[in-house]
Amino acid sequence: MKQGYRRYLVGKYLVGKYLAGTHFSGTDWRHGVCAAMIMCLIGISGALRADDIEHYHPFKVYDAQFYVESNLEFTLLHELAHAVIDHHQIPVLGGQEQAADQIAVMLLILMHDGLDPQLLDRLLAVSADWMIQWQMDLKNQNTVFWDVHPLPIQRFYEVTCLAYGSNPDVLESLRKDSWLPIERAWDCDLEFKENQQALAWLATKVSHYQFDPEWKLKRVSAASDSEGQVNIHWTNRTKGEQPALYQSLKNSTRLKRLLASINDVLKLKNDIPVYIETMCAGPDAWWNSKQNIVIICYELLEQFADNSTRVSSLIDEMKTVSARNLIVPLTAQEAAFINDRDDRYSEITRLIKSWLKQKLAE
């Protein structure tokens, strides 16, 4: 992110704070507003052009097939990240589950040629599923703090932050629509770049490719006949209410393309069978290092399909003050305070953008 864009974010944050009157009064308050507006204008002029102010609106994420495929892709990449870490004995600090999440998200982003709406829909489907899971855990009082996996709400912000950090100019609507607090958004571009560097190093260890200066994969070695392959095995579905969905997943062109890319890129010592399994105790997926296999449960696919029906209401909810209630419930007074601040913040932001466009047009 350009330094100008950082000033722009700081300015927007301060405008919101000062417009609410927090800790300021009289002349100090007015000076604070002026300072914040100046930071906004300096930041915008240094980082954004009028054409850069774009808004992303989800489309395909509302489709159940697309939603399930996106989360299945992420799950597959996550479990294969575990396999690669084990096969190549990659040292990991900070927890292998978080590392696998980050590798999966970065692969989804870097396997696309730029930020297209379909990629954004895929990332939104993945992050939305974590938020929905968090809501269900809270509702059922089923939050597990000791698990090796990060909490669903943490995984939600992790995915959203990496997506936002890949192109903050274009994805400002994610932050504006309450998907990402500015306190976290501040360093998301740096987190993305750090993950890029880590993935570039990882590529030299586990693949036939390297990233060029434009972050495009470039083949540097040929695959040998002795290398392993990843193959998906679909066990017969003996129960369930969505046979059409499972049949379409089996025939999914997207999954076939992803599998072909995985086998082209990765260097594996042995074949890794991926079993879409019926005999599970619940929605789950895991890498079995002893048997060298990945298990993805049908129950997890069912959960994805069920969660897809909640996406529309979740996205609407995230655009309102009630979105903050998804994590910490607010009192009526706090909600009224935030609504009033956001209304004033939106108005001053509109005026700033209008002024900027006018100046750029001159």
Note the pLDDT tens digit of each residue in 193-243.
998 898 889 888 888 888 888 888 888 888 888 889 999 998 876 665 567
- Which residues make Cβ contacts (< 8 Å) with residue 151, sequence separation at least 6? 134, 143, 145
pLDDT of res. 348: 66
pLDDT tens-digit readout, 53-110? 344 556 678 888 999 999 999 999 999 999 999 988 888 877 899 889 988 888 888 7
Inform me whether the pLDDT recorded for 27 exceeds 60: no
Least confident of 125-134, 219-228, 264-273: 219-228
Q: Which residue, 362, 249, 358, is CA-closest to 296?
A: 249
Would strands 209-211 and 285-288 be described as parallel, antiparallel, or unpaired? unpaired
Cα dist. 204→39, 104, 265 in Å? 41, 17, 11
Least confident of 47-51, 60-64, 154-158, 325-329: 47-51
Nearest to 66 by CA among 233, 310, 245: 245
Q: Is pLDDT larger for residue 4 or for residue 129?
A: 129
3-state helix vs strand vs coil in the chain, percent to 5: 60, 10, 30
CB atoms within 10 A of CB 152: 19
- pLDDT at site 71: 94
Distance (Å, whole) CA 49 – CA 45: 7
Give the CA angle between residues 155, 160, 161 to the nearest 5°.
95
CA pair distance 6, 220, nearest whole angstrom: 37
- Rounded CA-CA distance 42/30 in Å is 18
Distances (CA, A) of 272 to 25, 75, 81, 256: 64, 15, 12, 15
- What is the percentage of the chain residues whose pLDDT exceeds 90? 18
Are 107 and 84 spatial neighbours (Cβ–Cβ below 8 Å)?
no
Closest among 206, 272, 214, 186 to 198, alpha carbons compared: 206
The predicted model gives 2-28 an average pLDDT of 44
Angle between helices 26-47 and 332-361 (to 10 degrees): 50
Top mean-pLDDT range of 52-56, 118-122, 300-304, 334-338: 300-304
Q: In this model, does residue 266 exceed pLDDT 70?
A: yes
pLDDT at position 320:
61
Mean pLDDT along residues 240-266:
84
Q: Is the pLDDT of residue 143 over 90?
A: no
**Count of other CB atoms within 10 angstroms of residue 359:** 12
Q: Which secondary-structure segment (H or E) carries 106?
A: helix 96-110
- 187 pLDDT band, cuts 50/70/90, is confident
CA–CA separation, 126 vs 120, rounded Å? 10
More confident residue, 138 or 324: 138
Copy the structure tokens of residue 237: 């579905």
Domain boundaries, the chain: 3-50+332-361, 60-306
Is residue 349 pLDDT above 80, yes or no? no
